[in-house]
Structure 1
Amino acid sequence: MELTALGLFLLDVSRGSFTQSALFGTLMLSVLGVVHTEIAIGLERLRRQVADTPHGDLSSVWTFAAAVLLPPALATVVVLVIFTHQWFRVWRSIQVPAYRHTFSTATVVLACHAAAAVLGYAGGVSPLELEGPRELLTVGLAILAYATVNTGLVAAAIALSAPLPRPSPAQLIGHWDDNMLELATLCLGGLAAFALASNPWLVPLVMAPLLVLHRAVLVRQLEEVASTDSKTGLLNAAAWQSRASKELRRAQRGRTNAAVLILDLDHFKSVNDDHGHLAGDEVLSAVASALRTEVREHDLVGRFGGEEFVVLLPELGREPESTAELHAIAERIRHRISTMSVVVSTPTGSLTIAGLSVSVGGAAFPDHGTGLDHVLEAADTALYAAKRDGRNAVRIAAAVAMPRQHAPGRR
């Protein structure tokens, strides 16, 4: 990526001269990008510290405006100025590796070239000529080209370098909100290009909505941190219950089924006693990752505390298929954990912990309760039945509740 970006830059420089207005635009956009970073530096540091997925860099306002207004060589200069300044003021202070910064810079340069290629293919669009649907469509396609190239290259790098299990789509390309933020930022970049071409004094007005976007993104990410268990990356108990209640209400309105699994690691206290709590935390994290990979993307997975985990599985279908499906999912999770080997760090070196097992209890909605508390209670009862039966087992609430249902008839 870096060699491609460098080669394109050298080719662009060799292809022609630059007008005074283009050089002035380069200076303006570079200065505005640096000023933007300085104004939002505190928010940006916090945002990068709490973010756990790729997100749109709001400096793309200025880099996309450069792609629209300037020749590719000068757009590359704007990118280099802004990203070099960000490295010294933001990225280096939070210990982002230099190779990642270089790669990010290269992807933005290539994204600028992609946007410029779309504009060139359409015969060139001047911001002063945005008077009809054709010009608007062209700028929209340039925005999509920029976002696709930038996001795609970053996602490819993450996918190729990430260890098993493979990252989820949200970890690769960001959540829906992240992508909407990127598109909104690029739209602001188009407006900044229009303002710079028509009246440069209007460009600083873009700063106000940018700072609002910074704060909105920070608030959302802080909310995400507040709802996440720090040791496993799963939802914490309060966040899981809140979201699970909403899912059950949705299932009730749509007359669909859902189910809950409660999982408890067997004899986990011995892991902490034998190897220390830090090793225990690594085991919890590995179990959480395995659990996440064994369920669907939209299933809700949380840590209930200690060594307990909980999963909400919406839209399982109708009886009797849903009970069989629930048991199959729980059994798959149980088997996966029983075959795990977790390499942990200890004061005496690396150690492999194997022989883990988990007891699982399940219950379905609405068969075992009309609310989340009732379904959880039924699943918890099934979990303790699994523990009484020797642990490392799966029990579903229907099987546990059956004797009590037939007791009156036998009497």
Structure 2
Amino acid sequence: MDDPSSPDARGWALWKLPAKVVTVVLAVEAGAMALVVARASVPTLPDVGLAAFLATLSVVHTELATGIERARRRAAETSYFDLSSVWTFAAALLLPPLLAAAVIGVVYLHLWQRVWRPARVPLYRHVYTTATVLLAAGVARGVVQAAGGLPSGPEDVIGVVGVGLAVLLYVLVNTVLVAAAIAFTRDRPASRDLIGRWDDNALEVATICMGALAAVALGSTPGLVALVLPPILVLHRAVLVRQLEEEASTDSKTGLLNAAAWQTEASRTVRRLHRSGGSAAVLILDLDHFKMVNDAYGHLAGDVVLAAVAAELRAGVREPDIVGRFGGEEFVVLLPDLANGAAGQGQMYEVAERVRKRVAALDVAVRTPDGGLTITGVTVSVGAAAVPGDGTTLEQVMKAADVALYAAKRDGRNVVRVAAGGLPIPDIPAPRQAS
């Protein structure tokens, strides 16, 4: 098996992806190269000097933030947002395409050596990200040129609007191209996986806006561009602090919220729904005979099973649902914003049943001292309770769901049971014993 940490494995990982993903990646990279070549022109000496200055600033920026950025990459492996956009966007607005591409190349080559490679990011992802930035930079420059260039003064409204539109299109092009690659790579990705969170996008827009200000400063008073570095470094630290806070609230084995973080978020949501008169539900799920898995295959294999169950749980619930690991082999889900009455009860049961069936269908591949094997027959019992039918606070509803969970265990396991205060659900399937 290839070592994923080796340079060769990271470089050749692209060819192990589905053919449609490889096609998208290569098409975007070819498009970026074609755009640069089509717009190439002989650079002037002042432009070369400006390109070297921007590249130097980007290197200084990366060196000052290397430790922070490495930690940020380790804490958020899937993040495609990069604060180096301040320099790539400034280069796009100020330089001809060939030199802008050269600056972007220097920025991302240095990032690869100092940040991405030590964080073991696959090489093809880094090259693809560089290509998306080249295309986004080309679009941004075209918009600014169409508006007559950078604003010449406060009265140049068209120039200001052109820069603002360039910022939005830069973000849009980059986001769409990255989302396309993710969409082809993953099965039914959530919108958060495709476009990132709201605060991630806000950070990207803020960084590019600073790039626009840096470009204007370089066009009039170049020395002022040094003032960009302090706020960018502060942004690095602010982002890292937020990600470390998220890491502290995440269960390391499953990637779900840990018990304390889940209760905090779920309590806040239940209070909101109580004030607005909305409905919600709590599911408590417990793996059946999980001790037998640990005893038979070892705790490391048990951890793999927990992670696989967590993945099916995330895939089986709705996007706004709040999912956590409550401890041991127990999981919890808050289903907010359900319909009132019987319709909400039906939604609760539908989600619970969908998750139960997904877990029961699991085939978990694990490695043991005796070689690889597949664990099957993993099942889960589910207890469900509704807000406000079974209680008005999170604690009350969890107690009701816990009683329903014990009823599911008594009834043979691998079933869903609803708290006594809930409306009856027809056609509850007969228990199926875990193998």
Q: Distance in 2 between matches of 1:361 and 1:323?
A: 13
Kindly indicate whether the alpha-carbon contact (under 8 Å) linking 1:112 and 1:146 is maintained by their aligned counterparts in 2.
Answer: yes
Q: Does 1:202 align with 2:224?
A: yes
- Going from structure 1 to structure 2, the CA distance change for 1:190 and 1:131 (only over 3 Å counts) comes to farther
Q: Which of residues 335, 338, 361 is equivalent to 1:313? A: 335
Q: 1:142-170 deviations in whole A, cap 9, x for unaligned? A: 111111121222222222233x4x33221
TM-score by length of 1: 0.92
Q: Distance in 2 between matches of 1:103 and 1:324?
A: 44
- Going from structure 1 to structure 2, the CA distance change for 1:348 and 1:314 (only over 3 Å counts) comes to same
2:189 is matched with 167
1:407 is matched with none
Q: Does 1:142 align with 2:169?
A: no
- Going from structure 1 to structure 2, the CA distance change for 1:12 and 1:132 (only over 3 Å counts) comes to closer
- Percent identical pairs in the alignment equals 58
Q: Distance in 1 between matches of 2:116 and 2:422?
A: 55
What secondary structure, in the 3-state scheme, does the structure 2 residue paired with 1:351 have? Answer: strand
Structure 1: runs of 5+ lacking an equivalent: 403-411
Q: Which of residues 78, 83, 103 is equivalent to 2:128? A: 103
1:131 is matched with 155
Q: 1:7-54 deviations in whole A, cap 9, x for unaligned? A: 3323333xx332333222211111111110011111011111101432
Kindly indicate whether the alpha-carbon contact (under 8 Å) linking 1:257 and 1:316 is maintained by their aligned counterparts in 2.
Answer: yes
Q: Kindly state the Cα deviation for residue 280 of structure 1 after the two structures are TM-superposed.
A: 1.2
Q: Which of residues 1, 26, 32 is equivalent to 1:5? A: 32
Q: Distance in 1 between matches of 2:152 and 2:54?
A: 17
Q: Could you tell me which amino acid in structure 1 is paired with residue 149 of structure 2?
A: V
- Going from structure 1 to structure 2, the CA distance change for 1:279 and 1:130 (only over 3 Å counts) comes to farther
1:405 is matched with none
Structure 1 runs of 4+ aligned residues shifted over 6 Å read: none
Kindly indicate whether the alpha-carbon contact (under 8 Å) linking 1:127 and 1:193 is maintained by their aligned counterparts in 2.
Answer: no
Q: Single out whichever of 344-353 and 272-281 deviates more from structure 2.
A: 344-353
1:406 is matched with none
Q: Which of residues 79, 86, 90 is equivalent to 2:104? A: 79
Q: Kindly state the Cα deviation for residue 358 of structure 1 after the two structures are TM-superposed.
A: 0.8
What secondary structure, in the 3-state scheme, does the structure 1 residue paired with 2:121 have? Answer: coil
Q: Kindly state the Cα deviation for residue 229 of structure 1 after the two structures are TM-superposed.
A: 0.8
Q: 1:90-133 deviations in whole A, cap 9, x for unaligned? A: 222222222222222111111111111222333x3224346344
Q: Distance in 1 between matches of 2:299 and 2:309?
A: 15
Q: Distance in 1 between matches of 2:157 and 2:335?
A: 45
Q: Could you tell me which amino acid in structure 1 is paired with residue 48 of structure 2?
A: L
Q: Which of residues 145, 153, 171 is equivalent to 1:120? A: 145
Q: Kindly state the Cα deviation for residue 139 of structure 1 after the two structures are TM-superposed.
A: 1.1
Q: Distance in 2 between matches of 1:54 and 1:170?
A: 11
Q: Which of residues 289, 296, 299 is equivalent to 1:274? A: 296
2:51 is matched with 26
What secondary structure, in the 3-state scheme, does the structure 1 residue paired with 2:420 have? Answer: helix
1:242 is matched with 264
2:346 is matched with 324
Q: Distance in 2 between matches of 1:273 and 1:319?
A: 44
Q: Single out whichever of 224-233 and 85-94 deviates more from structure 2.
A: 85-94
Q: Could you tell me which amino acid in structure 1 is paired with residue 194 of structure 2?
A: L
TM-score by length of 2: 0.88
2:178 is matched with 154
Kindly indicate whether the alpha-carbon contact (under 8 Å) linking 1:54 and 1:172 is maintained by their aligned counterparts in 2.
Answer: no
Q: Distance in 2 between matches of 1:54 and 1:109?
A: 19
1:212 is matched with 234
Kindly indicate whether the alpha-carbon contact (under 8 Å) linking 1:286 and 1:342 is maintained by their aligned counterparts in 2.
Answer: yes
Kindly indicate whether the alpha-carbon contact (under 8 Å) linking 1:266 and 1:357 is maintained by their aligned counterparts in 2.
Answer: yes
Q: Distance in 1 between matches of 2:73 and 2:346?
A: 43
Q: Single out whichever of 168-177 and 33-42 deviates more from structure 2.
A: 168-177
Kindly indicate whether the alpha-carbon contact (under 8 Å) linking 2:140 and 2:167 is maintained by their aligned counterparts in 1.
Answer: yes
1:56 is matched with 81
Kindly indicate whether the alpha-carbon contact (under 8 Å) linking 1:54 and 1:173 is maintained by their aligned counterparts in 2.
Answer: no
Q: Single out whichever of 278-287 and 61-70 deviates more from structure 2.
A: 278-287
Q: Distance in 2 between matches of 1:185 and 1:137?
A: 18
Structure 2: runs of 5+ lacking an equivalent: 1-27, 425-435
Q: Kindly state the Cα deviation for residue 329 of structure 1 after the two structures are TM-superposed.
A: 1.8
Q: Could you tell me which amino acid in structure 1 is paired with residue 209 of structure 2?
A: C
